[in-house]
Amino acid sequence: MTGFPSERLRRTRATPAWRRLVRETRPAPEQLVLPLFVREDSAEPVPISSMPGVVQHSLDSLKAELHRAAEAGIGGVMLFGIPTHKDAEGSGATDPGGILNVATRIAATEVGDALVVQTDLCLDEFTDHGHCGVLDARGRVDNDATLVRYRDMALAQAEAGSHLLGLSGMMDGQTAEVRTALDAAGHADVALLGYAAKYASAFYGPFREAVQSSLEGDRRTYQLDPANRREGAREIAFDVAEGADIVMVKPAMSYLDVLADAAASSPVQVWAYQVSGEYAMIEAAAAHGWIDRERAVDESVTSIFRAGADAVLTYWALELAARLSGR
Ligand code: PBG
């Protein structure tokens, strides 16, 4: 017969059993990392209005959440601290009694065997000006002076028991600098996650509320221009050369091309961060009844894995883990 297709792709889509059998992307709970916010001097968890379902944890609620995460079988947690006191140098970041270091010690002790305990290594939560580094006399972010702070922050986090340091500050040379400092101090076993291709994104909006950032202006002198794909690849190559054990692309959904490039060429694992604004968009649209929430969540995360991520940081990690393991 002419005029009819001989190739029929619908055959293997015909039933749920078929679709399940031929599915190409199968995220597993252990490939998910849950970001957690921990607030200093708070007895109760505090909701984050732009991230419905996400809270700033107290130390008590953090402990409970860490055990839920271990129970859910996810791969790890990424910790962020919200200090009460902020200053120009971000001194809370290097204080062993600072909130992030305290939370890290708790996580390492409570669930360090079950989860990879990860910490955000950046100054923006700790500085009163909200930038990811320290400023020079003219108010610009000073790359090399910031590296000195990152070294000390890395040592503080390693000593607190972090397994993997998330270098999210986007200073040139940060990965090499931190690796050298850790090795010299006997922390050769602490791994580095280079936020290699981190773009200056509007999708970090809700995160600023989450960490009560005082940033005015933007981060365009250190984070990547969203227009640049080649430059993202270059950042990734630098981080690998400087000793990153894993590299990151961030945000995820608007940068799947960058992610796919990296997945194809990187010799180390490539992770992606589905950031606060990506979470907020789907939650907000779903709250209006405009999209099917569960399907949108699953589709968004599947697309990040399909593009080539080895693991994904997502605020839905626990919900997804429950769904993926059929609980
Ligand atoms: C830097 C950092 C940010 C995020 C993770 N690490 C904020 C920024 O660079 O502006 C954003 C994560 C998110 O939006 O979910 N400390």
Which residue out of 37, 50, 80, 124 has the highest number of ligand 1 atoms within 8 Å of its CB and is therefore the one to mutate? Answer: 124
Over pLDDT 70: what percentage of the chain?
99
Domain assignment present for 229: yes
Which residue out of 38, 127, 207, 212 has the highest number of ligand 1 atoms within 8 Å of its CB and is therefore the one to mutate? Answer: 207
Overall average pLDDT of the 28-46 stretch: 97
Domain assignment present for 6: no
C-alpha triplet 75, 76, 79: angle, nearest 5°? 165
Whether 168 is in the pocket of ligand 1, judged by its Cβ within 6 Å, is yes
Statement: residue 8 has pLDDT above 90: yes
Overall average pLDDT of the 231-258 stretch: 98
Peptide bond into 251 cis (omega under 30): yes
Measured between alpha carbons, how far is 312 from 178 in angstroms, rounded to an integer? 23
Measured over the CA atoms of residue 4, residue 9, residue 12 and residue 15, the dihedral's sign is: negative
Residue 106 in tokens:
């708790």
What residues make up the domain containing 310?
28-324
What distance in angstroms lies between residue 207's CA and the mean position of ligand 1's atoms? 6
Q: Taking all residues of the chain, what is their mean pLDDT, rounded to a whole number?
A: 97
Residue 304, domain CATH? 3.20.20.70
pLDDT, position 214: 83
Domain assignment present for 3: no
pLDDT, tens digit (0-9, with 9 covering 90-100), for 128-187: 999 999 999 999 999 999 999 999 999 999 999 999 999 999 999 999 999 999 999 999
Overall average pLDDT of the 88-113 stretch: 98
Measured between alpha carbons, how far is 293 from 2 in angstroms, rounded to an integer? 44
pLDDT, tens digit (0-9, with 9 covering 90-100), for 186-195: 999 999 999 9
Annotation says 198 is catalytic: yes
Q: What is the DSSP string of 131-147?
A: -SS-B-TTS-B-HHHHH
Q: Find the helix or strand (DSSP H, E) in which 325 lies.
A: none
Measured between alpha carbons, how far is 100 from 103 in angstroms, rounded to an integer? 5
Mention every residue, 6+ apart, whose C-beta is less than 8 A from residue 117.
76, 77, 79, 104, 107, 108, 111, 161, 162, 163, 164
Task: Kindly indicate the confidence band of residue 113, based on its pLDDT and cuts at 50, 70 and 90.
Answer: very high
Residue 224 in tokens:
């990547």
Measured between alpha carbons, how far is 313 from 252 in angstroms, rounded to an integer? 9
Domain assignment present for 270: yes
Whether 120 is in the pocket of ligand 1, judged by its Cβ within 6 Å, is yes
What distance in angstroms lies between residue 32's CA and the mean position of ligand 1's atoms? 17
pLDDT, position 2: 73
Domain assignment present for 196: yes
Task: Kindly indicate the confidence band of residue 325, based on its pLDDT and cuts at 50, 70 and 90.
Answer: very high
Annotation says 86 is catalytic: no
Please state the pTM of the whole predicted model.
Answer: 0.97
Question: How many structural domains does the chain have?
Answer: 1
Residue whose CA is at the smallest distance from ligand 1 atom 16:
122
Statement: residue 246 has pLDDT above 90: yes
C-alpha triplet 230, 234, 237: angle, nearest 5°? 140
Measured between alpha carbons, how far is 76 from 73 in angstroms, rounded to an integer? 9
User: Beta partners for 312?
Assistant: 32, 272
Task: Kindly indicate the confidence band of residue 104, based on its pLDDT and cuts at 50, 70 and 90.
Answer: very high
pLDDT, position 250: 98
What distance in angstroms lies between residue 8's CA and the mean position of ligand 1's atoms? 45
3-state class (DSSP) for residue 89: coil
Domain assignment present for 177: yes
Mention every residue, 6+ apart, whose C-beta is less than 8 A from residue 299.
none
Q: Beta strands 164-167 and 46-47: pairing type?
A: unpaired
Domain assignment present for 39: yes
- Token pair 């953090």 is found at 62
Task: Kindly indicate the confidence band of residue 254, based on its pLDDT and cuts at 50, 70 and 90.
Answer: very high
Domain assignment present for 205: yes
Task: Give the residue among 194, 201, 322 at the shortest CA–CA distance from 252.
Answer: 201
Statement: residue 1 has pLDDT above 70: no
